[in-house]
Structure 1
Amino acid sequence: MKNPEIQVRRKPRQSRAKLTQEALQDSFVRLLHERSANKIPIREVTDLAGVGLGTFYEYFSKKEDLIALTIYRHVKNNAEDLKTYAHSLIKLSPNLVLDNYLKLVIHYQLEQIQAQQFLWAQTFLLERQISNIESYRKSYEMMLQMWQSILAPFIQDTEQLKRMSLNVQRICYGFVSQTLLVEPEFGQWKILERDIFHNLNNLIFNKNLLF
């Protein structure tokens, strides 16, 4: 499928307009919990959001634009949630070492993904079908910045921090996205978590891999 640019016709500068756009996104996500995106008509999204079909086209030129924006917001919310959790760990246990800290963060991340497994499986699939390379890079950069924020208390050198963040993202995103793309109903989460930890330990204790 061709990766079109995201075309938001009307930017939600006013609070009411912003709420309307968010309502459309929330409605789409609620429906996406139940079935795949290609089985969700625009009319059903607008009905659930409590707006008319014309209102949809005030903000989006097509359903793909709604999908692309929804994916970005979903990833952003997840990143903010993970950063909040990680920073709370530092406050509660300031003497945590890096490997234990990362294990707790990754465990929390996997729990959140597992709790919405079908939604995440659909998100990874739609990301490949809908998002163009610019949108994908924007989301990927946001995740790298998230990891930099999470790892900053343990790595002061800027270049080392960037490299570590990049490799952690490669491992976590690669393991989870490839798993759910191939097997949306995947159930062996403890094994997946163990495999991710094994590769992260290689990064932490092997300086050649890290730096």
Structure 2
Amino acid sequence: MFAEDIDRKINGVVKVEQDESAILVQELEEYVITKELKKHFIAFFNNYGESFEENISDIGVWISGFFGSGKSHFLKMLAYLLENKEVQGVKTVERFRKKFEDDAAAFMPMDKVTRGETHTILFNIDVQSSGPKDETAVLRVFAKMFYHYLGFYGEDLKVAKLEQFIEKQGKTAEFRRVFEEKNGASWLSSRDSFAFFEDDVVSALTQ
């Protein structure tokens, strides 16, 4: 009656920040694509695929539904499919191929767009949000997470811009070496206290 052991541990709530290998395998393998979900996958990948055929700069997708309806789960699956993340030696798209065995045509757009290189940044905006809740709050979180993804200090956009400038000069490794010589601590462990070490930063930049 049951394909899997009913006594196994099952996450009651899917969280975007959970990325442990064992949890991901279970989420990917046991994700059930209902008829309704299949419609959403087809709609998403058909529209997303069009952006590869023509020059489109403004694309947004809004996922809405009642509490507990599976929005986060669906979003997380989309993110792993788009990046075609490899989990325990198996690409995500290959795990989904068997879920569409009864409808190969519906799977084709998904298979096509995942052959390219796509990067995804998955995060919970409530968890990452900080500072005043004004009209720029959402934009600040997006900028923060984007800079984090690039390896810069997204918590402080001033510092992130500085790091980005140094990177463009091809001087990141040299700057970090010189800063550590002057400060005694590494740049990565000190940048969250940037304001206290501005003299060392200026001295390192000057050198």
- The TM-score normalised by the length of structure 2 is 0.32
Question: RCO (CA 8 Å, sep 6+): is it higher in 1 or 2?
Answer: 1
Mark the structure with the bigger radius of gyration. Answer: 2
